[in-house]
Chain A
Amino acid sequence: SYVLTQPPSVSVAPGQTARISCGGDSIGSKSVHWYQQKPSQAPVLVVYADRDRPSGIPERFSGSNSGNTATLTISRVETGDEADYYCQVWDRGGDHVYVFGPGTKVTVL
């Protein structure tokens, strides 16, 4: 089955840029989605199809995907961005399953 990897944690100062990686075999050929989850809340979609933002998501959130790594970039980080972030892909081969990455805890220093 398809496996996604993410760093367990990323720390960033307010106003700086946070980059969260999501690794997978030829992930550049897949469509990657990103979710933000704050404590005791349901996940929220922040980027879909590699780089598109749902309505209401700030432009500070952006995504890219190439080769074996997809990246979620949060520019001008705010304290309210502190959360867990998960990448996700739809694995069409074999069992037709959705796969989530293990998640990355973003801490705003």
Chain B
Amino acid sequence: EVQLVESGGRSVPPGETLLLSCAASGFTFSSYEMNWVRQAPGKGLEWLSFISVTGNTIYHADSVKGRFTIFRDNAKNSLFLQMNSLSAEDTAIYYCARTSAEAYAFDVWGQGTMVTVSS
């Protein structure tokens, strides 16, 4: 079964750092581009970060550029999001999502991990 499982979300105070992980299974992880997407409580979807199959090409949304870093370990079938200087506005469910082979669409999503930034 094709699956993505996020972990690492928790409650942290403002200014802290957090590392999110996404474990992939059921497909050849190293052949797919990957992304992080978040959803604040009661709000819509916000794309955050993209990484190519080798990790050599990375894009970040302006809202997290300079604070968040996406990276991957193909040997461990894992995707990561390093988040620094967290603020209350970063409170959200964080999803990892696979870019489909046919189009720039997200065809597989994890169940999400909740990050709460609060003092």
Cβ of B48 to closest chain A Cβ, rounded Å? 9
Given known A-B contacts A33-B103, A98-B50, A42 and B111 have beta carbons under 8 A apart: yes
The answer to whether B44 and A86 have CB atoms under 8 Å apart is yes
- Look across to chain A and name the residue whose beta carbon is closest to the beta carbon of B59: A96
The answer to whether B110 and A35 have CB atoms under 8 Å apart is no
**Count the A-B residue pairs with Cβ separation under 8 angstroms: how many?**
63
The contact of A86 among B35, B45, B110, by CB within 8 Å, is: B45
The answer to whether B45 and A49 have CB atoms under 8 Å apart is no
- Look across to chain A and name the residue whose beta carbon is closest to the beta carbon of B107: A45
Q: Is B32 an interface residue (CB 8 A)?
A: no
The answer to whether B104 and A54 have CB atoms under 8 Å apart is no
CB within 8 Å of A: which B37-71 residues = 44-47, 50, 59, 61-62
Neighbouring A residues of B35 by C-beta, 8 Å: 98
User: In which size bucket is the chain A interface?
Assistant: 20 to 34
Neighbouring B residues of A33 by C-beta, 8 Å: 103-106
The answer to whether B44 and A103 have CB atoms under 8 Å apart is yes
Given known A-B contacts A43-B109, A98-B50, A35 and B45 have beta carbons under 8 A apart: yes
Q: Bound state CA distance, A99 and B59, in angstroms? A: 13
Neighbouring A residues of B111 by C-beta, 8 Å: 42
Cβ of A29 to closest chain B Cβ, rounded Å? 14
The answer to whether B110 and A48 have CB atoms under 8 Å apart is no
Q: Is A100 an interface residue (CB 8 A)?
A: yes
Neighbouring B residues of A13 by C-beta, 8 Å: none
19 sampled A-B residue pairs with Cβ under 8 A: A33-B103, A33-B104, A33-B106, A35-B106, A42-B111, A43-B95, A48-B100, A48-B107, A49-B105, A86-B45, A88-B105, A90-B104, A95-B59, A97-B47, A97-B59, A98-B35, A99-B47, A102-B44, A103-B45
Interface pairs A-B: 7 shortest CB-CB? A48-B105, A98-B47, A90-B104, A33-B105, A42-B109, A49-B103, A103-B44
Measured CB to CB, the residues of A under 8 A from B are 1, 31, 33, 35, 37, 42-45, 48-49, 52, 54, 84, 86, 88, 90, 95-103
